[in-house]
Amino acid sequence: MTSSPHRAPKLRLVPTDPGIAQPSAPPALDDSELLLALRAGDATAATALHDRVRPQVDRTVRRLLGPGDIDREDVAQLAMIELVTTIDRYRADCSLDTWTSTIAARVVYKHIRRRKTERRIFSALDADLLAASRSTSRPGREAALRGVTRRVLEHLDAMDESKAWAFVLHDVYGYDLREIAEITDVSVTAAQTRLVRGRREIHERIAGDADLAQALESTQAEP
């Protein structure tokens, strides 16, 4: 720094003044503190919130969207923003992880429904199976399993979308009816109806596809 106003000031590292108390690292926030900070509009909690929920968001997005989807990062970011904007709806009647997973699934669900270029809505399941089959020591069986899965997914893709989603979210991904209602933006009753009808429809479709039904039975019968 110079006394002349015409000379540009230079930024330099300044040694710590021992007389000035340095701010200590913020303590790790537990979930209740994190939520309080979030509700209070404390933007400095962003990093803590991100690091707390990001693994769950990634797991959910990866599971529903697939590991190689180009939109994965954007969707994960949207999910975290959605988590902030919907935090008032979180009543602490489930864990923060569960709520995070539900909100992330909701964002993925909306994203896939908006995506008009790809009809395969359950491609993530296909990708999962491909990854799993590459690590098996029984390639012949896994190839057959993969063929069966592909045909099952074709049936799911051909179903009414809302029923297929209810079936997959509940029976495959393990979301309960209340969570499915939140994800798909319907009442719990409607979610239940869709689930029941979805199960029935996939059953009838496979029952009407004798080869697939037989393959499915034999695949499941093997150890």
Partner 1 sequence: MNDPRYAWLVRKLLVSGGASIAPVPPGPMDRARAIAAVAQAIETRARRRRTARWAGGAVAAAAAVVGVFVGSHALGHVVARAPSQVASSGGPEIVAHPAAGGASVLVSGAQAPLVEGRSLASGSRIVTPPGGRATLSFSTGTSVALGEGADVTVGGDGGSAVLQLAGGVVDLHVAKLGAGQRFVVNTPDAEVEVRGTQFRVGLAAPDPGCGGGTTTRVTVTEGVVVVRHAGVESRVPAGEGWPAACWRTSVSTLPPTDAPLAMPPASRPLAAGRPVSALAEQNDLFAKAATARRRGDVPGAVAAFDRLLDEYPACPLAEGAAVERMRLLRSTAPGRAVTLAQQYLVRYPRGFARAEAEAIVSGLP
Q: Does 24 bind partner 1 (CB under 8 A)?
A: yes
**Which is nearer to partner 1, 89 or 116 (by Cβ)?**
89
**Which is nearer to partner 1, 47 or 189 (by Cβ)?**
47
What is the C-alpha separation between 168 and 186, in angstroms, rounded? 16
- The correct pick among 171, 185, 187, 214 for binding partner 1 (CB under 8 A) is 171
Both tokens assigned to 145: 């399993």
What is the C-alpha separation between 213 and 210, in angstroms, rounded? 5
- The correct pick among 31, 147, 160, 172 for binding partner 1 (CB under 8 A) is 172
Q: Does 166 bind partner 1 (CB under 8 A)?
A: no
Judged by CB under 8 A, the number of residues near partner 1 is 86
Site string for partner 1, 65-104 (x = CB under 8 A): --x-----x--xx--xx--xx-xx-xxxx-----------
**Which is nearer to partner 1, 116 or 134 (by Cβ)?**
134
Q: Does 164 bind partner 1 (CB under 8 A)?
A: no
Burial class (CB in 10 A: 0-12, 13-18, 19+), 129: middle
- The correct pick among 105, 106, 114, 152 for binding partner 1 (CB under 8 A) is 152
DSSP characters for the chain?
--S-TTSPP--------TTSPPPPPPPPP-HHHHHHHHHTT-GGGHHHHHHHHHHHHHHHHHHHH-TT-TTHHHHHHHHHHHHHHTGGG--SSS-HHHHHHHHHHHHHHHHHHH--S---TTHHHHHHHHHHHHT-S-HHHHHHHHHHHHHHHHHHHHS-HHHHHHHIIIIIT---HHHHHHHHTS-HHHHHHHHHHHHHHHHHHHHT-HHHHHHHHHHHH--
Return the residues of window 40-69 that contact partner 1 according to CB under 8 A: 40-47, 49-50, 54-55, 58-59, 61-63, 67
Minimum CB separation of residue 106 from partner 1 in Å reads 16
- The correct pick among 99, 165, 167, 175 for binding partner 1 (CB under 8 A) is 167
Return the residues of window 173-212 that contact partner 1 according to CB under 8 A: 198-200, 202-207
- The correct pick among 18, 31, 36, 169 for binding partner 1 (CB under 8 A) is 36
Return the residues of window 107-146 that contact partner 1 according to CB under 8 A: 125, 127-132, 145
